Structure 1
Amino acid sequence: MTTSDRHLLDWSPDAVVFDCDGTLMDSERHWQEARHRAFLEYGLQPPPGFTEQALGLHYEDCGRLMAQSVHKPELAQDLTAALLDHFLALVIDDPVTMPGAVPLVRLLSGRLPLAVASNCPRVVVEGSLERAGLLAHFQHLVVPDTGDRVRPKPHPDVYTVAARLCGVAPHRALAVEDSLTGVEAARRAGLRILGVGPRPKGDGATRADVWLPTLDAPELLAWAHALDGPRGRHGS
């Protein structure tokens, strides 16, 4: 563990904001399968390396990237619609939490305001968290919304709004993310960042304050146990 890691796990935030896909819910495999099915629906094959390029993207951005990657920009809307349809069918049938997600959220619940900041449609976030028994622990869910001018990650909007709804300054909130797209959004919003999951290639992980393999890492659970609580919750 580095000095930076120790500093983060010695710190007590005033709120925690979780990403959903790949952080709380094991749904990235569903997105991968949905992309595969959407490509096949139009007789296409994803180019090499596409999975890494698509990680963490909003589904509309992913649909556009899919069309661009096979040099068929005219199919952007069709591929986007097919992607979302296939994903919804998959995630509703098989919602699975990431290792450590349930115990960590339950440990933090009641001690700190908790929020979710996701690039997924609200129906997906609410439905998957509800089926996993986690929805009631979160005071706020923030997703991209053109009406409210909340842009998807890597824009900072979902994290900026989540911190505001929790009633805390961004630098007093902790973001929990699994993708570099999400890390960039949280960094731009001014939150401190815990990266979780497979460590990104290259130096991408250094953009987070600390990167741990899973949410049930012993040092993370020890940190959660040691937090003062309960904290005052802010109304929605």
Structure 2
Amino acid sequence: MTAQAHPLLGWSPEAVVFDCDGTLMDSERHWQDARSRAFREFGLTAPPGFADRAKGVHYVDCGRLMAEEADKPDLADDLARSLLEHFLSLVADDPVTMPGAAEFVRLLSGRLPLAVASNCPLPVVEESLGRAGLLRHFDHVVVPAQPPGPTPSRAVTDGPDTTVPGAVRPKPWPDVYTTAARLCGTEPVRALAVEDSSTGIESARRAGLRVLGVGPRPDEEEASRADLWVTALHSPVLLDWVRRQVPRSAEAREG
């Protein structure tokens, strides 16, 4: 595929908003391990195919889904708490970036406003991106209210934290992407989302962003929900698109 062969690669976004788990950080395996540990903690077994259904789902909603599929609805809150505790322990020990993620982010940095829109708790996003040396490249990090409800989420900046008014609901609601685009100073239709999960793609689509899908290519129906799908963010065509279509800002050139 050449840069001219796909419409998305002839477009210049005004901001790029990244998912975190499975897109920037290789943490989906930690969520899968954490789900297994939480199930075992309560003497339960994960139903077949549960990992696919849970991918990209906010941990509170995942706890509810775990409880429903195990026919133990009264355990929803306990499973969610257990899931988060196990995940925090795992990701703290092993924060690893996805192939090409660091290269792609660093190439975009200084060219466009960058943000993260994640279903992960804020401390996890800050810690994992910070340890990977990527947090400083992002102007904002938007996460849902923890837990979902009337508590505002925060947008993390290089300076003081900025409070985002109102409740920010988790993906697949569009809130995190709508908020991230606004904080980047643009309309959602002028921003690009980078996502690896169907839940995240639905969120970005509902917000109005164009979507770059990344990771192992899913079936054609799911892949077609993204404007373009690449297997990794260091795809030569993708890197060439940034260099050709997204010029560095004057401030970055002078620096």
Decide whether the 8 Å contact of 1:4 with 1:210 is kept in 2. Answer: no
* Mapping 1:78-117, distance limit 5 Å: 78-117=78-117
The alignment partner of 1:203 has SS state of: helix
AA matched with 1:103: E
Q: Supply the distance in 1 between the matched residues of 2:12 and 2:24 (Cα, whole angstroms).
A: 21
**Among the aligned pairs, what percent are the same residue?**
67
Q: 1:5–1:200: structure 2 CA closer, same or farther, 3 Å change rule? A: farther
After superposition, the C-alpha distances for 1:131-171 in whole angstroms (9 at most, x for unaligned) are 00000000000000132310000000000000000000111
Alignment of 1:54-65 (within 5 A): 54-65=54-65
TM-score by length of 2: 0.88
Change (3 A) 1:76 1:16: same
Quote the Cα distance in structure 2 between the aligned partners of 1:81 and 1:232: 45
Q: Give the equivalent residue in structure 2 for 1:153.
A: 171
Whole-Å separation in 2 of the counterparts to 1:127 and 1:68:
31
| Structure 1 match to 2:216 | 198
Q: Which runs of 5+ in 2 are unaligned?
A: 153-166
Distance 1:232 1:5, change over 3 A: farther
Aligned residues: CA RMSD = 1.6
Is there any run of 5+ residues in structure 1 with no aligned partner, and where?
A: none
Deviation at 1:201, TM superposition (A): 2.6
Q: For 2:68 and 2:3, locate their aligned partners in 1 and report how far apart those are by CA, in whole Å.
A: 42
- Superposition pairs of residues 1-236 of structure 1, within 5 angstroms: 1=1, 6-145=6-145, 146=149, 147-148=151-152, 149-226=167-244, 227-230=246-249
CA spacing shift, 1:137–1:96, aligned 2, 3 Å: same
What is the aligned residue count? 233
CA contact (8 A) 2:39 2:79 kept: yes
- Residue 158 of structure 2 is matched in structure 1 by none
